[in-house]
Structure formats: C-alpha cells, structure tokens
Amino acid sequence: MSTFATIDNNGPLRLVQVGAGGMGQAWLDTIIANPDVELVGLVDLNTDAAHAALADRGLQGVAVGTSVGEVAAATGAHAVVNVTVPVAHHPVNVEAMFAGLPVLCEKPAAPTVAQALSLAASAEASGQLLMISQSRRYFNSLTQLKAMAGELGDIGVITTEFFKAPHFGGFREEMDHVLLLDMAIHPFDAVRHLTGQDPVSVYCEEFNPPWSWYRADAAATAVFEFAGGLRYVYSGSWCADGKETSWNGSWRVNGARGTALWDGDNAPTAEGLEGAVLDIPVSDGGPEQIAGSLAEFVAAVRSGRVPNGEIHSNVYSLAMVEAAVQSAGTGKRVRIDDVITAAYAQALDAERNAEVKAVLSGWGSPLGALSGASRGVSA
C-alpha cells in the first residue's frame, strides 16, 4: 500500500476545481459550503462556462484557465477536484499529481481498468493521494445498513433492484452499455463497502426492452460471486416507468441470522433471529454524498489516513463494471482477477511515462499491489 504526502498548512485547503459542467456546478456549491476548503481556481477547456459558473455564484478572485498545472502554480493551490468527463480523468489527474497535488476525482476513475491501474501507479510514483469520489458511500442510512449487516452473521445474498425512467437526452441515450457504465458502478462500489469484500466473478446479461428510448442496452441483470460464496444480484433498468425505485435502488441483505431491507432513501429495517441486535440507531455519520467525500478527502490529506475510494482499492469497483460488460458480450462468467490481469498487460504496454512504467513493472502482479490497499480501506 502506498503512502501519500500530507498537508499541514493553517487555514483552509486551497482547491482548484477542473470541470465546470453539470456535476461541476454541484461541486462548486459543495466547496463553497465547506469552511475547511477554499476555491482558488476553476479550470475548463470552455473558459466561458467557468466564468459563467463563478458569476452565477458571485465568486470573485478565482483564477480561470485551461491547464490545471498552470492555474495551480499561479494560485498556490494545495489540491485538485477533478469533475471533468471520464476520458479526461487520466490526463488531468496525472498532470495534477506530478505537479505535487493530491486529487479528488469524480467516478469513474477512468474509462478502462488499464487506465485506472496507470493512475494507481502514478499516485505511487508522484507520492500523492488520488481518491475517487464514490459519493453514494456517503448516506447515513447506508452506514446504518452496514451496521445491521454486521449483525446478520454470514451473508448469503444481497440484492439491488434499480428501476427508473429518466429521459436524459444527449450522450446517455446514444452510448453503449449506458446502465452498466454510467450508473451501475454506484451500487457495485456500495456492495464492496457494505460487505468489506471484493468480488471473485460475475455473470451478466444486458438487454434493451422493446419500448426503450435508449439506442443501446439500458437494462441489465448481473450475479456476482464473492469469496466465501456470497452472491450479489443486481437487476436494473433505465427505461422502467412506474413504481420507480430510489436512485440508490432497493436493497435486501440476507444473512444466517436475519434480513435487512433498505429502500435507498430512508432508514433501513431488519428482522432477525433471537439474539440479533438489529435495533441500530440512525447513524449521524456527518455530511452525505459529495459533501461526504470532500470531507473525507480533506481529513485524509491532513492525516495520511487512507480514505474510501483510494485509487488502488477503487480499481475493483471499475473492474466489476468492466467484467459485467465482458460477460454480457461473451455470454460467459468472467473472473474479476482475469480482468485486472489483462488490464495490467495493457497498462504496461500503453504507459509512456517512465516513472509510472517503472512502478507498474515493479508490481510484478497487479493483484498483490491492489489487494493490500483494498483490505485496508474496508473495501
């Protein structure tokens, strides 16, 4: 497990945000609301969008530019929040880390597991923290569900039903694997958080209901097997009108001593065998969603404590998505380790940065390099 540089300045952490699009707006409001951070720069290829986002909020004195390295140097920034589109995550994160800045990056870490491995090696080579913001880990009711699951003994099966009918327009209605690539990483990551385990394999079917308004498959059912036999069954559709679930989906956790249910919005409920202590109070775990990941990032760069979403561990969440897509394409069960091993060969082949390549080569096996981190971060 890599360690990373910490920051012990007095006063708020000076942040440069990269990306002033749809989600970037939400991040700006979250940064403004947190007194432990201060926005000093806003980077976007579209500087008009950056200026407009600042003007909308009455923010003055924030540097604007198109290069994260230049804006960070000009502002004396301490850290970067990356809210660009997924294809820009790798170059922006690498530029920031090698400029000496830790990065909090929106999910997914990168479009491919191979690029995510390159990012993990870049974090080691630069000595900086790269944390992927998996904002759906930060729900107090999920924290409560995790505590309940811990009372249920061995877990046999966890299910998530995700059924919604959004009309996004734009790229989502045109892209391949839209549900798996754009949305399913949230519950896939959440089940790792819930169980503290990483999956072993997946079988997945992807399909497009006849009435779908998406060009490509907008529905999927996946069965993941975990070490020890636990099965996680995800079933979702993005063209499912009527009785929609929450954005977190609807969860069931069944263990040897009982069952817990979570509708994704409200406090979970549970019913168990005699002796199971399931009357767990509502968790007050602090800020939720992206405010929660920002708070954890700040605490991590201050303390050196490895946060949720640290890049080495997060590779497994992305690998769950890539394995599910591969399984849907081949009709076969796919092992997660095989996906990571194949991605490692691709990453070694593609890497052009000599320092990063040396770190990748030094791993020998990617599984060993990732597993220590994965165990240390409660998945």
Residues that bind ligand NAD (CB under 6 A): 18-24, 43-46, 49, 83-86, 88, 92, 106-107, 135
The answer to whether the beta carbons of residues 203 and 176 sit under 8 Å apart is no
- When the beta carbons of 229 and 286 are compared against ligand NAD, the nearer one is 286
Nearer to ligand NAD (CB atom), residue 42 or residue 152: 42
In order of 82, 229, 295, 318, 333, the CA distances from 189 in angstroms are 19, 18, 19, 8, 20
Which of 13/68 has CB closer to ligand NAD?
68
Backbone angles phi, psi at 204, to 5 degrees: -140, 140
Least Cβ distance, residue 8 to ligand NAD (angstroms): 29
Nearest approach in angstroms of CB 154 to ligand NAD is 32
Residue type for 7, please?
Answer: I
CB of 110 to ligand NAD, least distance (A): 10
Structure tokens at 195: 């169980």
Strands 130-133 and 103-106: parallel
Residue number, 1 or 23, with CB nearest to ligand NAD: 23
Please identify the residue of the shown chain whose CB is closest to the bound ligand NAD. 21
Q: Minimal distance in Å, beta carbon 93 to ligand NAD? A: 11
Give the C-alpha separation, 32 to 371, whole Å: 36
State the nearest-atom distance from the C-beta of 335 to ligand NAD, in Å: 26
**Closer residue to ligand NAD, CB minimum distance, 45 or 59:** 45
Query: For residue 338, what are the contacts with CB-CB under 8 A and spacing of at least 6?
Result: none
Which amino acid is located at 21 in the chain? Answer: G
Nearer residue to ligand NAD within complex by CB, 24 or 258: 24
3-state secondary structure of 168: coil
Complex with ligand NAD: residue 68 or 360, whichever CB lies closer: 68
**Per-residue 3-state assignment (H helix, E strand, C coil) for 13-60:** EEEEEECCCHHHHHHHHHHHHCCCEEEEEEECCCHHHHHHHHHHCCCC
Q: Quote the least distance from Cβ 37 to ligand NAD, whole Å.
A: 18
CA gap 167, 332 in Å, rounded: 31
Q: Supply the minimum distance, in Å, between the C-beta of residue 330 and ligand NAD.
A: 26
